[in-house]
Chains A and B, each alone.
Chain A
Amino acid sequence: DAGVTQSPTHLIKTRGQQVTLRCSPKSGHDTVSWYQQALGQGPQFIFQYYEEEERQRGNFPDRFSGHQFPNYSSELNVNALLLGDSALYLCASSPTGGLVGELFFGEGSRLTVL
């Protein structure tokens, strides 16, 4: 099991563009959460997907949207990119019935907005 995998690992965009980040959860995990980690900060919760629906959302604008597919993989979309969107985007998965607080993280997608 490769664990949580994310793509791409790095990408550069310009202001106003749109970006799509992808995540494959750990085998057997059905819940996917996305976090944004700005430089020097801890991860900040964006939203969580379960059964192909957004179950919870953090304090992020509607420019941030996502999707979960039947195979539990997920995408994070960010529209109208701002310089402040530059960050490491982390995907984390967990199984239904798993221990609360135990998330399995990917290595992240580092987004740079110029």
Chain B
Amino acid sequence: AQRVTQPEKLLSVFKGAPVELKCNYSYSGSPELFWYVQYSRQRLQLLLRHISRESIKGFTADLNKGETSFHLKKPFAQEEDSAMYYCASPQRYSGAGSYQLTFGKGTKLSVIP
């Protein structure tokens, strides 16, 4: 079964400092990975997916198959980045759209002004 591991429960950085939120995965086949974010008093929402290779709110994540990692990075942290971040991977079943997401335990990012 797919597993995603987020080794850090809490990460504190100063505003303007680089951020790296770690995610490691165990996967059979071609990995699919996502980052979800939950800001204070808001619902859980998709931040970015590995296949899009795009930057969302300044965040990027690169899939490193050799290290089985999908770390989330941002060069300069902003106060509004403070949130819970979850790495997730789908476990597919037969049937179009049939899958479940497996989430890591999450990392709380705190950006210090």
Contacts and interface: CB of A to CB of B under 8 A. Distances in A.
Among B49, B101, B102, B103, chain A packs the most CB atoms within 10 A around the CB of B101
B77 to A, nearest CB: 22
Contacts of A58: 100
A101 B98 contact: no
Contacts of B9: 40
A107 B43 contact: yes
Contact of B92 (A45, A97, A100, A107): A100
Interface in A29-78: 31, 33, 35, 40-45, 48, 50, 55-56, 58
Contacts, number: 70
Nearest to A103: B101
Q: Classify chain A: how many residues form its interface, as a range.
A: 20 to 34
A105 B43 contact: yes
Interface of B: 9, 32, 34, 43-46, 49, 86, 88, 90, 92-93, 95-106
Given A43-B44, A101-B46, 19 more contacts: A33-B100, A33-B101, A35-B101, A40-B9, A42-B86, A42-B104, A50-B97, A56-B98, A58-B100, A90-B44, A100-B97, A101-B88, A101-B90, A103-B46, A103-B101, A104-B45, A105-B45, A107-B43, A108-B43
